[in-house]
Chain A
Amino acid sequence: MEEIRQYIPFLVPILIIQLALMIAALADLIRRPRTKGPKWLWAVVIVLVNFIGPILYFVAGREEEIKE
């Protein structure tokens, strides 16, 4: 167990990436007027599902605003 503990600092950059994805997805969710499916559900998915949640939202959840 001691040996595993010394590798914990290596995980910090990975956690930062995960957090950055989550924040970017939440920021987009808040600003977007409409999404595919209920907004609160996306918020839950983004926060609770590591990595996959934010990506799923970016790929499938965003509703493009039609311009012009």
Chain B
Amino acid sequence: MNFLAVLHKEMLEQWRTYKLLIVAAVLVAFGLSSPLLAKFTPEILKAIPDMPPELAAAIPAPTLADAVTQYVKNMSQFGILLALLMAMGMVAQEKERGTAAMMLTRPVSCETFLLAKFTSLALTFAASLILAAVGCWYYTLLLFAALPWGAFLALNGLMLLVFLVYIAVTLLCSTLTRTQTAAGGLAFGALILIAGLGALPRIGDYLPGALFGWGTSLTLGADQSAWPALWVSLGLIAAALLAACLVFRRQEL
């Protein structure tokens, strides 16, 4: 079976297991609510009864930058969480149920099997992120002002790349372990490790998390690039998928 046939099966699976629906619903909901929340928060604070007038006056008016940072914050948290949740069962569950062995007795190579899974999830996240970005762009336009669409597109592209890193790493975890739960736990450990290292001053510039800052600064017109983090992210994706292939080939199903 060729790659496209396996990918087609995986895409059907994305639909049948509601993964596409979940990712799209969550990301779009946060895409829409981020600019709204940025606009709302000061108004809600001002509506608190008995708020001293000096304090109410000190609350800054919401800006375009608030909308963008809110969007990036929500997307980074929930996008990565979804990447873990959606990818953790992809290999482990098929091993548990024995369907992986069934697939591989047909002429499907390990690479095709894993790459089709990765690609199907990548497409799910890309489509959902496009919808979310359009929603966020439109709401920001209505509530604040127009965002530069080229830079905003770049921001979303960079965010997608970070999600892909976590999808690839979680797929590797899913290959290493026997059950979905163990895969989720292992992937969460990796997430903590990557996020923890990312918080360190110098090392952080080389890790996927730096891409969020780069995207935000692009959209807000600053220039704070993070090319090393981009290359490291691409490298991490390639390394995780390669490692998953090597491990998977040696496993007895």
**Chain A interface residues toward B at CB < 8 A:** 1, 3-4, 7, 10-11, 13-14, 17-18, 20-21, 24, 28, 51, 55, 58-59, 62, 64, 66
Q: Determine if B194 is an interface residue (Cβ-Cβ < 8 Å).
A: no
User: Could you list some 11 contacts between A and B, CB below 8 A?
Assistant: A4-B40, A10-B139, A10-B142, A14-B32, A14-B33, A21-B22, A24-B21, A28-B18, A55-B26, A58-B17, A58-B21
Contacts of B29 in A (CB 8 A): 14, 17-18, 51
Contact in complex: A51, B26 (CB < 8 Å)? yes
Q: How far is the CA of A10 from the CA of B43 in the complex (A)?
A: 15
Task: Give min CB distance, A33 to chain B, whole Å.
Answer: 16
Contact in complex: A4, B47 (CB < 8 Å)? yes
Q: How far is the CA of A66 from the CA of B102 in the complex (A)?
A: 13
Q: Determine if B250 is an interface residue (Cβ-Cβ < 8 Å).
A: no
Q: How far is the CA of A13 from the CA of B131 in the complex (A)?
A: 13
Q: How far is the CA of A1 from the CA of B43 in the complex (A)?
A: 8
**Chain B interface residues toward A at CB < 8 A:** 17-18, 21-22, 25-26, 28-29, 32-33, 36, 39-40, 43-44, 47, 85, 93, 97, 135, 139, 142-143
Given known contacts A21-B21, A58-B22, is B32 in contact with A1 (CB within 8 Å)?
no
Q: How far is the CA of A14 from the CA of B39 in the complex (A)?
A: 16
Summarize A's interface: helix, strand, loop or mixed. helix
Contact in complex: A59, B85 (CB < 8 Å)? yes
Q: How far is the CA of A1 from the CA of B40 in the complex (A)?
A: 11
Given known contacts A7-B36, A64-B97, is B22 in contact with A55 (CB within 8 Å)?
yes
Contact in complex: B39, A7 (CB < 8 Å)? yes
Closest Cβ neighbor of A4 among chain B residues: B43
Contacts of A20 in B (CB 8 A): 25
Q: How far is the CA of A11 from the CA of B135 in the complex (A)?
A: 12
Q: How far is the CA of A55 from the CA of B43 in the complex (A)?
A: 31
Task: Give min CB distance, B95 to chain A, whole Å.
Answer: 13
Contact in complex: B47, A1 (CB < 8 Å)? yes
Contact in complex: B47, A17 (CB < 8 Å)? no
Q: How far is the CA of A42 from the CA of B47 in the complex (A)?
A: 37
Interface centre among A4, A10, A24, A62 (most CB of B within 10 A): A10
Given known contacts A14-B32, A28-B18, is B97 in contact with A66 (CB within 8 Å)?
yes
8 closest residue pairs by CB, A with B: A58-B18, A21-B25, A17-B29, A17-B25, A4-B43, A3-B43, A10-B36, A14-B32
Contacts of B33 in A (CB 8 A): 14
